[in-house]
Amino acid sequence: MKLLISDLDGTLLETDHSVSEGTLKLVEKIKGLGIQFSIATGRALSAASTYIQQLKITVPVILFNGARLYDPVERRYLVEHSLSQRAVELATEVVIMHRDLTAAFFVKEEVYAYNVGLNAATYVIRDALVYKSIDDVESIKKEKITKIVFASYPFNLSRLEIELPQVFGLEADVVRSEDDLLEILPKSVNKGSALKELCKLMKISASEVIAMGDSMNDLKMIKMAGIGIAVGKAKDELKKNAKLYIDKTGKEALEKVYELLRRG
pTM, full prediction: 0.93
Distances (CA, A) of 181 to 24, 112, 120, 194, 229: 28, 16, 9, 20, 22
What is the C-alpha separation between 89 and 86, in angstroms, rounded? 5
**Domain's final residue, options 133, 168, 186:** 186
Domain count, the chain: 2
What is the C-alpha separation between 24 and 52, in angstroms, rounded? 11
What pLDDT, on a 0 to 100 scale, did the predictor assign at position 128?
84
What are the b/e assignments for 64-98, b being 16+ CB within 10 Å? bbbbbbbbbeeeeeebebbbeeebbebbbebbeee
Same domain, 17 and 76: yes
pLDDT tens digits, the chain, 264 residues: what are they?
999 999 999 999 999 999 999 999 999 999 999 999 999 999 999 999 999 999 999 999 999 999 999 999 999 999 999 999 999 999 999 999 998 999 999 999 999 999 998 889 999 988 888 999 999 898 898 899 999 999 999 999 999 999 999 999 999 999 999 999 999 999 999 999 999 999 999 999 999 999 999 999 999 999 999 999 999 999 999 999 999 999 999 999 999 999 999 987
CATH number of the domain to which 223 belongs: 3.40.50.1000
What is the C-alpha separation between 4 and 27, in angstroms, rounded? 9
Same domain, 8 and 128: no
What is the C-alpha separation between 164 and 172, in angstroms, rounded? 10
Distances (CA, A) of 50 to 8, 54, 193: 12, 6, 25
Same domain, 64 and 111: no
What pLDDT, on a 0 to 100 scale, did the predictor assign at position 218?
97
Same domain, 182 and 89: yes
Q: Where are the alpha helices (DSSP H) in the chain?
A: 21-32, 45-54, 85-97, 121-126, 154-168, 191-202, 219-224, 236-241, 250-263
Q: Name residues whose C-beta falls within 8 Å of residue 6's C-beta, 6 or more positions apart in sequence.
A: 12, 37, 38, 39, 40, 211, 212, 213, 254
What is the C-alpha separation between 2 and 8, in angstroms, rounded? 20
Q: Is the separation of the CB atoms in 62 and 195 below 8 Å?
A: yes
Same domain, 161 and 216: no
Q: Name residues whose C-beta falls within 8 Å of residue 123's C-beta, 6 or more positions apart in sequence.
A: 102, 104, 129, 149, 151, 178, 180, 181
CATH number of the domain to which 108 belongs: 3.30.1240.10
Same domain, 92 and 181: yes
Same domain, 65 and 89: no
What pLDDT, on a 0 to 100 scale, did the predictor assign at position 127?
85
Closest among 48, 56, 59, 9 to 29, alpha carbons compared: 56
Same domain, 155 and 209: no
Same domain, 134 and 164: yes
**Domain's final residue, options 148, 165, 186:** 186
What pLDDT, on a 0 to 100 scale, did the predictor assign at position 101?
95
Same domain, 125 and 95: yes
What is the C-alpha separation between 81 and 160, in angstroms, rounded? 24
Same domain, 94 and 224: no
Closest among 182, 173, 177, 184 to 140, alpha carbons compared: 184
What pLDDT, on a 0 to 100 scale, did the predictor assign at position 139?
86
Same domain, 58 and 150: no
Please state the three-class secondary structure of 89-135 as a single string.
HHHHHHHHHCCCCEEEEEECCEEEEECCCHHHHHHHHHCCCCCEEEC
Biggest CA-to-CA distance, the chain: 57
Q: Is the separation of the CB atoms in 122 and 60 below 8 Å?
A: no
Beta bridge partners of 104: 113, 149
**Domain's final residue, options 151, 186, 221:** 186
- Domain hosting 89: range is 85-186
Mapped onto helix, strand or coil, the DSSP state of residue 14 is: coil
